[in-house]
Amino acid sequence: MRDNTPNSKVLSGGGSKDPIILIQSVAFAGHTIPLMQVAEYLVQRGYDLYYLGGTEFQEPIEATGAKFIPYLGLSDTHHQTWMPVHGLGIGIETAPSCLRLLAACMPSQLESTRNALTIIREKEPGREVVIVSEIAAAGSIVAFRLGAPLPAGYSKLPKVLGINIIPPWWTSVDYVDFWMDMPYVPGQDPKINRLIAKLGREGIFKEAWERFPLTLESLSAFKPIESLFGDHAKKIDHVLWDMHFVSPDKTLQMCIPSLEYPRSDWPANFAFGGTLPPKAWRKPNFVFPDWFTRVQENSAKDVTSASRKKIVAIAQGTLAIDWENVLIPTIQGLAHRDDVLVVAILCVKGAELGDRLPIPVPANTIVVDYFPYDAVIEHADVFVSNGSYGVFSHCVAHGVPMVLSGYTEDKGTLGMRAEYAGFAINLGIEQQTPEAFEKGVDTVLTNPKYKTRAMQLRAEAEEFDALGTVEKELRAMF
3-state SS, one letter per residue, for 379-392: CCCEEEECCCHHHH
- φ, ψ dihedrals at 385, nearest 5°: -155, 165
Please tell me the predicted confidence (pLDDT) of residue 359: 86
CATH superfamily of 20-279+464-475: Glycogen Phosphorylase B; (3.40.50.2000)
Q: Judge contact between 137 and 25, C-beta under 8 A.
A: yes
Helices (H), 315-380: 327-334, 373-377
What is the pTM (predicted TM-score) of this model?
A: 0.90
Please tell me the predicted confidence (pLDDT) of residue 340: 95
Residues of the chain under the 70 pLDDT cut: 1-16, 89-92, 179-181, 280-285, 317-321
Please tell me the predicted confidence (pLDDT) of residue 201: 86
Q: Judge contact between 317 and 165, C-beta under 8 A.
A: no
Question: How large is the angle between the packed helices 466-475 and 448-464, nearest 10 degrees?
Answer: 30
Please tell me the predicted confidence (pLDDT) of residue 280: 65
pLDDT tens for each residue of 265-289: 999 999 999 999 987 655 666 777 8
CA distance 278 to 180: 29
Beta-carbon contacts of 452 under 8 Å, excluding residues fewer than 6 positions away, are none
Beta-carbon contacts of 469 under 8 Å, excluding residues fewer than 6 positions away, are 6, 7, 252, 273, 274
Q: Would you list the domain boundaries of the chain?
A: 20-279+464-475, 290-462
Same CATH topology for 20-279+464-475 and 290-462: the answer is yes
CA distance 415 to 254: 17
Which element (helix H / strand E) includes 107?
helix 94-123
Please tell me the predicted confidence (pLDDT) of residue 82: 79
Fold of 290-462: Rossmann fold (3.40.50)
Please tell me the predicted confidence (pLDDT) of residue 317: 65
b/e map of 248-261 (b: 16 or more CB within 10 Å)?
A: bbbbbbbbbebbbb
Distances (CA, A) of 111 to 27, 32, 122, 273, 408: 15, 19, 16, 29, 29
